[in-house]
Amino acid sequence: MNYAYKFFLSVFLLVAMFSCKKLTEIQETDFIDASKALKTVENNESAIIGAYAGLQVEMGILLNGELSDELKTSGEFYNSITTHEWQYGAADIVIRDLYTAIGSYYPIIDRVNRVLTYVATADSTRAGDNTLRARLRGEALYIRAFCHFELFRYYAGNYDPDGLAMPYVVTSSLAPIAREKMSVYFEKINQDITEAKQLLPNNLTDINRATRLAVSGLQARIALYKKDWSSAITYTTEYINAIPLSPRASFTAIWTDANNNELAWKLKRSPTNNPYNKIGSMYRNPSTATSIGTVFWIPSSKLWDSYDQANDIRFSSYMKTEPMLTAANRQPRLIVKYAGTAYGTSGENVADAKVFRTAEMYLIRAEAKAESGSFTGANSAESDINELRAARITNYLPVTFSSKTEAIDAIMMERFKELAFEGHRFWDLKRKGLAVQRIGTDAPTSTGAMLPGGNFRFILPIPEIELQANSLMTQNPGY
């Protein structure tokens, strides 16, 4: 009996092993090879458009608000205590508000890398395809550079040539890849955007896709983070000379998507195209015509009180006191910068993501000038700040800076107010070595009152799932 059992067991195992071997040799019938999927120039353009749609700058907007002093909890719903109080770790950073730029940006990088592989030899099936393929290469290079820079902002410290950046991925591969020195990483970014700039259109006909001025904006932002003040002045001036500041009367219309003032590049959003979330609903649930949905986040009192509320157009463009909430005995302050259309409509909480604006360029240039010693007088940090404020504040009286320190302090405050809820504040404090300092009414608890400047939590942890998947990946200090 025992021999018979062993015999049949042996036969069964042999059959099973043979069957498994055969199964592994069966080709997938639903797999589309990239060489076929990207056979034509038109296919490659579809892939590029898909890459734009997948860019999740909204995640960075909420992260910067929640981890900095831009936002405070509404008291109506609070499920993000670990991130708001900087208690996140490698095991839960992908759970708490989905702060995992690795899972967002590297798939887009992979997509454009495939385009870069096939677009040069793709079949031309339409008039103009041979001209378009050069633009598509430029867009792919630009998107690759943009994504890698975003990954740097999430997962790397302040610029240091010998410091660790992230892996710079230029081919589609599942092989492990190590983090690179920042000097090497940024040289690769520079190579990509330098070539892209020559291939992209030099106009603003379609700012939903990359243009040469969008490259100038990215170059300026990179120069700011690298403290390359000369380059920052050069690239911001390119942008500012081409796209002026919005007149005060039409500033609010930027945020309702009624105009494209100041914009060189934005990401189109619609009720059916929100790759991460509707920006507005990061702060509150959709409403009806007569009631407001649950409010998640509201402007911090520190930010709210920083404006000249009677004269500064930014205050009413970014936030409001909602009478329906007052009547319902709920806290009445709301963020309306991305409110979209009217309450209860399909476009509520839907607004295009504005990636580069002229105002940011003024602020980068002002900081670069101040850091270069030009803080007062003509063509200085002072003149840039006065020009920006005059475009925003009725009856504005120009200021005079008496020192570099005074100029830098004013620039940081102006970035706080002008770029509120645009995804900069937390990273601004990080790159300047400043603390997140919440005033008493904004701090959820004593542990959520301050994050000291230079604290390791200004750099997000590499998620555990990435460490397990990539054997060459190294964790950031402190986690």
pLDDT digits (tens, 9 = 90+) for 224-245: 999 999 999 999 999 999 999 9
Cα separation, 130 vs 139, in Å, equals 15
Tokens 């990946």 correspond to what residue? 473
Decide if 163 is inside a domain.
Answer: yes
Average pLDDT over every residue of 119-147: 97
pLDDT value of position 36 = 86
User: Would you say residue 42 has pLDDT above 50?
Assistant: yes
Residue predicted with more confidence, 381 or 77: 381
Q: What is the pLDDT of residues 159-193, one digit of tens each?
A: 999 999 999 999 999 899 999 999 999 999 999 99
Mean pLDDT of the chain: 91
Q: Quick one: pLDDT at residue 271?
A: 87
Q: What is the model's pLDDT at position 135?
A: 98
Is residue 71 included in any domain, yes or no? no
In a domain, 72, yes or no: no
- Please check whether residue 255 lies inside any domain of the structure: yes
Residue 292 resides in a domain:
no
Residue 148 lies in a domain: yes
Residue 74 lies in a domain: no
User: Within a domain: residue 435?
Assistant: yes
pLDDT at 385: 98
Query: Total structural domains in the chain?
Result: 1
What's the average model confidence in pLDDT over 127-146?
Answer: 97
| Residue 16, pLDDT score | 40
CATH number at residue 402: 1.25.40.390
| 390 closest CA partner among 247, 190, 233, 187 | 247
Residue 272 has pLDDT above 70, yes or no: yes
Q: What is the pLDDT of residue 422?
A: 97
- The whole domain housing 203 covers 39-58+82-267+353-469
Q: Is the pLDDT of residue 221 over 50?
A: yes
Residue 308: name the closest of 436, 414, 382 by CA.
Answer: 414
pLDDT at 195: 98
At 282, is the pLDDT very low, low, confident or very high (cuts 50, 70, 90)?
A: confident
